[in-house]
């Protein structure tokens, strides 16, 4: 019976892993739409206002989805955020506002190609912060995947590597990457909660903050049709994308989700090739091959060993078939549900990912 349960849990772990990878890649696909479409919209929408409208579009759109769920009386299966999560909520919003400011400051002091190249440090920053501060496990195979994916993104982002130079502006670009790295990890710490609620808070918080900055810089437009288009783009490329990104983080952790999400620029290039007639270069093919190699190492990673779960009390969506939620109820319950519950101390061995139930050290 124990062997059979172990086999069932192993299969469920693999299913959860590949579902989470699918969410991360789909999130990258939706976000990849934003760059080519934004190029068209930037004719009328200033850059800082564009950032504000994209986040507001995400917040407004996902709020509409939430209101629809309430109106149709769909059962709420996700746990809401509480005061306990406030440090991570505030961190997520503030860092999402700070990062673009650092990036803009960097762009005023360095070339755009240099900034694009350095901007790929976000993947590495997210992984290092996840490893050293949030104690997320990253094995040798995953590090190889992260390194290859980062190299491929760097090759894709700049055509002339002689443009790489370190200056005062470069430091601001790196600060932007570190800010986004911390923001990714803050979001990961919220990933067990309702992703719909997280996107609404993130969208309105970051959007309103960016809107204040755009007004301070006197960036505005009265082209309402373009404003509506930008809000719609924000709902699809930011709202739905972030929603799927958070669901992926729930299973994969911050570092792995960030690595898969790095596919977004490649998707943007393909969309630009199809709709904007921009050419596919030899550099793109090389970068794509390296990206696919890195993705292979990420997907084929297998982490399985004996580990201990310490006693913990928290509230999130769960079921009683995963081998980790063994508490009982005074009433009959089936399927997924949420409530505050206690994880008793347990020691076992199975394949697992660095989700919030597997933060043990090695």
CA distances, 196 to each of 79, 138, 255 (Å)? 11, 28, 22
pTM, entire model: 0.83
What contacts 134, CB < 8 A, 6 or more positions away? 185, 188, 189, 254, 359
| 53-57, 284-288, 325-329, 347-351: which is most confident | 53-57
Would you say residue 360 lies in a domain? no
From 342, 357, 348, 338, select the one nearest 311 (Cα to Cα). Answer: 342
Element housing 347 (H / E): strand 346-351
Average pLDDT over residues 99-113: 78
Shared domain for 206 and 105, answered yes or no, is yes
Phi, psi of 96, deg, nearest 5: -70, -25
Lowest-confidence segment of 64-78, 267-281, 329-343 by average pLDDT: 329-343
- Asked if residue 250 and residue 164 are part of one domain, the reply reads yes
At 120, list the tokens: 């790929």
Q: Identify whether residues 277 and 343 lie together within a single domain.
A: no
Per cent of the chain over pLDDT 70 is 77
**pLDDT, mean of residues 295-310:** 73
The per-residue pLDDT for 2 is: 46
Choosing from 265, 284, 303, the residue where a domain stops is 303
pLDDT score of 5 more than 50: no
**Residue 348's pLDDT is what?**
62
Residues 285, 321: one domain? no
**Amino acid 3: pLDDT:** 46
User: Across-strand partners of 318?
Assistant: 337
At 314 the three-state DSSP class reads: strand
pLDDT digit string (tens) for 125-146? 999 999 899 888 888 889 999 9
pLDDT digits (tens, 9 = 90+) for 8-52: 454 555 677 888 999 999 999 999 888 788 888 988 998 889 889
Is the pLDDT at 296 greater than 80? The verdict is yes
Do 242 and 327 sit in the same domain of this protein? no
Q: What is the pLDDT of residue 362?
A: 60
Mean pLDDT of 188-213: 92
Question: How many CB atoms sit inside 10 A of residue 279's CB?
Answer: 8
Q: Does 362 reside within a domain? A: no
* pLDDT tops 80 at residue 151: yes
Residue spans of beta strands (DSSP E) within 66-170: none
**Residues 269, 217 share a domain:** yes
Look at residue 46 and tell me if it is in a domain: yes
Average of per-residue pLDDT values in the chain: 82
**Both tokens of residue 354?**
């660095």
Decide if 361 is inside a domain: no
284 and 322 fall within a common domain: no
pLDDT band for 169, please (50, 70, 90 cuts). confident
Report if residue 146 sits inside a domain: yes
Assess if residue 8 is contained within a domain.
yes
Choice among 104-108, 188-192, 279-283 with the minimum mean pLDDT: 104-108
Task: Say how far apart CA 31 and CA 261 lie, in whole Å.
Answer: 9
The DSSP letter of residue 362 is -
Q: In angstroms, rounded to a whole number, what is the distance separating the alpha carbons of residues 336 and 35? A: 37
pLDDT for the residue numbered 57: 96
For residues 157 and 280, membership in a common domain is answered with yes
Residue 84 CA, chain-centre distance (Å), reads: 21
In the chain, the percentage of residues whose pLDDT exceeds 90 is: 35
Q: Can you tell me whether residue 306 is helix, strand or coil?
A: strand
| Whether residues 80 and 215 fall in one domain | yes
Looking at per-residue pLDDT, the higher value among 267 and 159 belongs to 267
Using an 8 Å Cβ cutoff, are 53 and 288 in contact? no
**Do 267 and 312 lie in a common domain?**
no
State residue 197's pLDDT score: 93
> Domain range spanning residue 347?
306-351
What pLDDT is attached to residue 323?
61
Tokens of residue 274, six digits: 């199809």
pLDDT given at position 267: 82
Q: Give a yes or no: residue 265 inside a domain.
A: yes
Q: Are 221 and 45 in contact (CB under 8 A)?
A: yes
Q: Are residues 296 and 327 in the same domain?
A: no
Last residue of a domain, one of 266, 283, 303: 303
How many separate domains does the chain show? 2
Residue 98, pLDDT > 80, answer yes
Residue 230 in any domain: the answer is yes
Q: Are strands 337-343 and 312-318 parallel, antiparallel or unpaired?
A: antiparallel
- Alpha-carbon span 242 to 236, nearest angstrom: 9
**What's the whole-number mean pLDDT along residues 88-106?**
87
Q: Nearest Cα to 324, choosing from 285, 292, 356, 361? A: 356
Alpha-carbon gap, residue 348 to 228, rounded angstroms: 53
In terms of domains, do 229 and 142 share one?
yes
Query: Residue 359: what pLDDT?
Result: 63
């Amino acid at each position: 019976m124990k062997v059979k349960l172990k086999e069932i849990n192993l299969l469920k772990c693999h299913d959860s892993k590949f579902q989470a990878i699918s969410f991360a890649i789909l999130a990258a696909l939706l976000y990849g739409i934003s760059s080519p479409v934004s190029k068209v919209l930037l004719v009328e929408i200033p850059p800082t206002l564009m950032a504000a409208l994209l986040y507001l579009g995400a917040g407004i759109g996902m709020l509409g989805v939430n209101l629809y769920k309430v109106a149709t009386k769909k059962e709420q299966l996700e746990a809401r955020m509480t005061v306990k999560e406030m440090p991570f909520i505030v961190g997520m919003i503030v860092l999402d506002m700070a990062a673009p400011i650092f990036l803009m400051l960097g762009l005023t002091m360095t070339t755009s190609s240099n900034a694009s190249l350095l901007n790929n440090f976000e993947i590495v920053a997210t992984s290092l912060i996840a490893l050293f501060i949030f104690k997320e496990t990253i094995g040798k195979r995953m590090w190889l995947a992260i390194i290859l994916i980062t190299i491929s993104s760097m090759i894709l982002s700049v055509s002339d590597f002689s443009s790489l130079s370190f200056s005062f502006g470069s430091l601001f670009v790196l600060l932007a990457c570190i800010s986004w790295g911390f923001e990714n990890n803050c979001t990961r710490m919220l990933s067990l909660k309702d992703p719909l609620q997280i996107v609404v808070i993130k969208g309105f918080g970051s959007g309103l903050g960016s809107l204040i900055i755009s007004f301070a810089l006197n960036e505005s437009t009265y082209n309402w049709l373009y404003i509506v288009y930008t809000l719609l783009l924000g709902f699809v490329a930011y709202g739905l994308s972030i929603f799927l990104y958070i669901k992926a983080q729930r299973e994969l952790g911050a570092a792995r989700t960030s690595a898969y999400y790095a596919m977004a620029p490649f998707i943007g290039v393909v969309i630009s090739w199809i709709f904007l007639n921009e050419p596919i270069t030899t550099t793109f093919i090389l970068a794509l091959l390296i990206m696919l190699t890195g993705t292979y190492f990420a997907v084929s990673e297998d982490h399985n060993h004996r580990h201990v779960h310490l006693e913990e009390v928290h509230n999130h969506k769960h079921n009683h078939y995963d081998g980790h939620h063994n508490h009982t109820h005074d009433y009959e319950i089936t399927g997924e549900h949420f409530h505050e519950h206690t994880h008793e101390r347990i020691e076992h061995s199975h394949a697992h990912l660095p989700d919030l139930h597997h933060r043990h050290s090695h």
